[in-house]
Amino acid sequence: MATRKDDQRSLIRLRMSAHDAHYGGNLVDGARMLALFGDVATELLIRMDGDEGLFVAYDQVEFLAPVFAGDYIEAEGEIVTVGNTSRRMRFEARKVIAARPEINDSAADLLEVPLVVCRAAGTCVTPKAKKRI
């Protein structure tokens, strides 16, 4: 099974829960965005190599806006450089629905323009012995 060009992008969307909130005011820990990027990277490695591979390092992370329980986050990543075993990736997390607890406990707004909450770049590797594609 060969990789296709469109296999070098991945997108996941999920709602941040009360379980994700780590700080007062239902603020979600920024590390949660990095966990989402890890899931995106794993999918990209499976698509490209047939294996989950390993995340080696982030070399750039920017937290740009707060995320709260009830917000819907879209995390997207793409492979931008392919080495022998390394894959350089770029990630972006966007808030697409914002919880509105100040209105009531179930109010939310669909954002006309998604709000970028985090960007990152990093490198993953798939050991040669584990590559299946």
Question: Mind listing the pLDDT tens digit for each residue in 107-130?
Answer: 999 999 999 999 999 999 999 988
Range of the domain at 15: 5-130
Distance CA 29, CA 133 (A): 36
16, containing H or E segment: none
pLDDT at 7 (0 to 100): 65
pLDDT at 133 (0 to 100): 81
Distance CA 57, CA 121 (A): 9
pLDDT at 63 (0 to 100): 98
Short-list 78, 13, 14, CA closest to 43: 78
The model's confidence at residue 131, banded by pLDDT at 50, 70 and 90, is confident
Determine the Cα angle at 52 with ends 50 and 54, to 5°: 130
pLDDT at 32 (0 to 100): 97
pLDDT at 21 (0 to 100): 93
Question: Percent of the chain, pLDDT > 90?
Answer: 88
CATH code, domain with 63: 3.10.129.10
Structure pTM?
Answer: 0.90
Distance CA 119, CA 88 (A): 14
Number of domains in the chain: 1
Distance CA 33, CA 94 (A): 10
Residue pair 131/50 in contact (Cβ under 8 Å)? The answer is yes
Q: What is the mean pLDDT of the chain?
A: 93
Is the model's pLDDT at 87 over the cut of 80?
Answer: yes
Structure confidence by residue, pLDDT tens digits, 6-27? 568 999 999 999 999 989 999 9
Distance of CA 123 to the CA centre of its chain: 14
